[in-house]
């Protein structure tokens, strides 16, 4: 159907161009909101009517006659109907719908993928401070980042995954001080315990291992505790390595991998922060006032100028962010996507202002941002707010242990990133149609069960289905399922463009629904061999697309449930 649709689109563009020069760009098909209205819809005539000074419905009739005379429409279209003020509704021949089954089976895991491109895109996500376990907000960001990377990869883009470690600043100092207090025997609630200290049990775990002189190893560092209660710097390095290892383990359990871990501290030690400040000075975009160094960020749309260097000589947190993004540009990443919490909204304007002010060739709007809200966790109708280990929040590890990696990923991706999300533990554990991930996975397992029964009884080979005669696939349920399969590539492209993996979850739920409806309407393993082969080819193609979509989300496609 994809090739048929492309032929129809080419024919539509040619006829529109005859009506008005440049109108070919308006050639597009939509899915009718009501399935009974047809398989494809076109609104181009209504869009052109005013410019051509014609009645839109009469123009639609003219376009209809022209389209029906083209070879593509003669071959693939059964009927064209005009509705309302000039909607053109197209009904495809069964052969056009059936073609998608062979297209899926031939492309297999590559169905929906676009040709490879030369451009590189860097996606930065999670980027948690190494000051505690990953919380459920980090989990949402990890799921988002990984799925967005997978979506971009389906569009042929070269994707580079990066984790930015904020291993410098006040929070790291607080981590070291909290660890030292635990090493000395103090605990939350004691008079000596500061309000700003980290309270979770994990701090005691770090202190115990430091006193025991254990060695911790993360992806890029290894450090052995000295056991010295006065070795504050040693505690800092040990605690950072310890928590980096913990976060690595959490991400591994969540099946999220990175190509690079970039350290904030390296921006200072390499001189990149000083170099960025110097660029801004030389560009005349800074000034001194009240003992501080300011950036003229209002020159670039910010609501006020921003302090870069405070009176005590330390830099504000957006300055290393500017240096980091200059480094991304210099590393050859002309496109960058940052996935962060909505609390970072205020940094967007000032980081972009700093990049423009530095005059290093970075375009406006660089980088792209995807902002997400936090996650509330419910169980038994009540909100779960605290993990004993973390001390003040529910961790990603908690969520995985209470449910599963598949459930956490699918659920956290099932809403737009900037909308509030409530993670229902009870729903994630339910084995019924109300649980969306169960519903989709069950559709796949159900198909695998049918294919296994066929192979066991008839010795069938799935590869042979790619040549099956599909003419028996004519029922309304079969046609609806084939149309759903054909929507997958366009859905992928749209989701990648909009950074919208939730579109994939919606699509998979719809595809699963279409399959369940088809399964309930028609027996697959019938006696008629031709009918059986056609139906098996359809369900095998459906299983393939379910697998492909679940893979984008990082969710498994079980064969049995």
Per-residue pLDDT reduced to its tens digit, 155-174:
999 999 999 988 877 889 99
Q: Token digits for 216?
A: 């911790």
Residue 488, in any domain of the structure? yes
Residues 545 and 444 in one domain: yes
Q: What are phi and psi of 25, to 5 degrees?
A: -65, -20
Same domain (yes/no): 74, 181: no
Of 253, 270, 288, which residue is a domain's last? 253
How many Å apart are CA 152 and CA 109, to the nearest integer? 16
Q: pLDDT for 317-333, tens place per residue? A: 899 999 999 999 999 99
So what's the pLDDT on residue 388? 61
Asked if residue 498 belongs to a domain, the reply is yes
State phi, psi for 423 to the nearest 5 degrees: -90, 115
88 and 179, same domain (yes or no): no
Q: Which of 195, 226, 253 is the last residue of a domain?
A: 253
**Which residues on neighbouring strands pair with residue 376, listed in sequence order?**
422
Quote the pLDDT of residue 2.
74
Residue 383 resides in a domain = no
Q: What residue ranges of the chain have pLDDT lower than 70?
A: 1, 387-391
Residues 82 and 192 in one domain: no
Residue 300: alpha-carbon gap to chain centroid: 30
Same domain for 87 and 178, yes or no, is no
Q: Are residues 443 and 547 in the same domain?
A: yes
Considering the domain architecture, whether residues 548 and 437 belong to the same structural domain is answered as: yes
Tokens representing 318 are: 């957006």
- Give me 414's structure tokens: 């099932």
Q: Are 428 and 436 in contact (CB under 8 A)?
A: no
Is 524 inside a domain boundary?
A: yes
Asked, for residue 114, whether it belongs to a domain, the answer is: no
Q: Output the furthest CA–CA distance in the chain (Å, rounded).
A: 88
- Count of domains forming the chain: 3
In a domain, 237, yes or no: yes
Structure tokens at 494: 């749209």
Identify whether 236 is part of a domain: yes
Domain boundary among 208, 225, 253: 253
CATH code of 63's domain: 3.30.1360.70
pTM: 0.90
How confident is the model at residue 389, as a pLDDT?
Answer: 65
- 165 within some domain: no
Parent domain of 83: 2-92
d(Cα 221, Cα 218) in Å, to the nearest integer? 5
CATH number of the CATH domain containing 451: 1.10.730.10
């Amino acid at each position: 159907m994809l090739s048929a649709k492309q032929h129809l689109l080419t024919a539509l563009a040619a006829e529109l161009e005859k009506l008005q020069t440049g109108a070919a760009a308006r050639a597009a098909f939509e899915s009718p909101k009501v399935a009974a209205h047809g398989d494809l819809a076109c609104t181009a005539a209504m869009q052109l009517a005013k410019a051509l000074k014609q009645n839109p419905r009469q123009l639609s009739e003219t376009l209809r006659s022209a389209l029906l005379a083209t070879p593509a429409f003669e071959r693939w279209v059964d009927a064209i109907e005009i509705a309302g003020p000039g909607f053109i509704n197209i009904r495809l021949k069964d052969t056009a719908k059936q073609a998608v089954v062979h297209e899926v089976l031939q492309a297999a895991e590559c169905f929906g993928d676009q040709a490879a491109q030369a451009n590189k895109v860097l996606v930065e996500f999670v980027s948690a401070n190494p000051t505690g376990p990953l919380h459920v907000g980090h989990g949402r960001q990890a799921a988002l980042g990984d799925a967005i990377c997978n979506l971009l990869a389906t569009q042929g883009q070269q994707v580079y995954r990066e984790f930015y470690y904020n291993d410098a600043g006040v929070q790291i100092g607080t981590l070291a001080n909290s660890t030292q207090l635990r090493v000395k025997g103090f605990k939350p609630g004691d008079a000596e315990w500061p309000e700003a200290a980290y309270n979770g049990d994990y701090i005691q775990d770090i202190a115990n291992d430091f006193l025991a002189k254990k060695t911790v190893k993360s992806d890029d560092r290894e450090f052995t505790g000295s056991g010295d209660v006065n070795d504050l710097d040693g505690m800092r390095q040990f605690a950072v390595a310890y928590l980096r290892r913990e976060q690595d383990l959490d991400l591994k359990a969540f099946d999220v991998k990175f190509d690079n871990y970039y350290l904030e501290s390296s921006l200072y030690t390499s001189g990149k922060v000083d170099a960025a400040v110097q660029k801004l000075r030389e560009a005349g975009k800074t000034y001194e006032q009240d003992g501080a160094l300011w950036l003229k960020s209002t020159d670039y749309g910010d609501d006020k100028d921003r302090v870069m260097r405070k009176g005590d000589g330390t830099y504000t947190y957006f300055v290393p962010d500017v240096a980091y993004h200059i480094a991304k540009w210099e590393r050859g990443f002309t496109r960058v996507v940052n996935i962060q919490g909505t609390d970072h909204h205020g940094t967007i304007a000032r980081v972009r202002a700093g990049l423009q002010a530095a005059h290093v060739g970075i375009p406006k709007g660089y980088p792209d941002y995807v902002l997400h809200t936090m996650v509330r966790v419910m169980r038994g109708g009540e909100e779960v707010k605290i993990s004993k280990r973390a001390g003040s929040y529910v961790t990603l590890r908690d969520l995985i242990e209470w449910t599963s990696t598949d459930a956490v990923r699918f659920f956290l991706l099932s809403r737009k990133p900037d909308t509030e999300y409530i993670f229902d533990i009870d729903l994630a554990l339910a084995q019924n149609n109300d649980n969306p991930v169960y519903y989709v996975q069950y559709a796949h397992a159900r198909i695998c069960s049918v294919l296994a029964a066929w192979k066991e009884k008839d010795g069938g080979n799935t590869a042979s289905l790619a040549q099956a005669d599909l003419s028996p696939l004519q029922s309304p349920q079969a046609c609806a399922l084939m149309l759903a399969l054909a929507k997958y590539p366009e859905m992928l492209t749209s989701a990648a463009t909009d950074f919208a993996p939730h579109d994939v979850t919606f699509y998979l739920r719809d595809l699963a629904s279409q399959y369940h409806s088809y399964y309930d309407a028609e027996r697959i393993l019938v006696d008629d061999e031709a009918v059986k082969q056609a139906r098996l080819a359809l369900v095998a193609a459906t299983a393939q697309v379910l697998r492909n979509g679940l893979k984008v989300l990082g969710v498994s496609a079980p064969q049995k449930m």
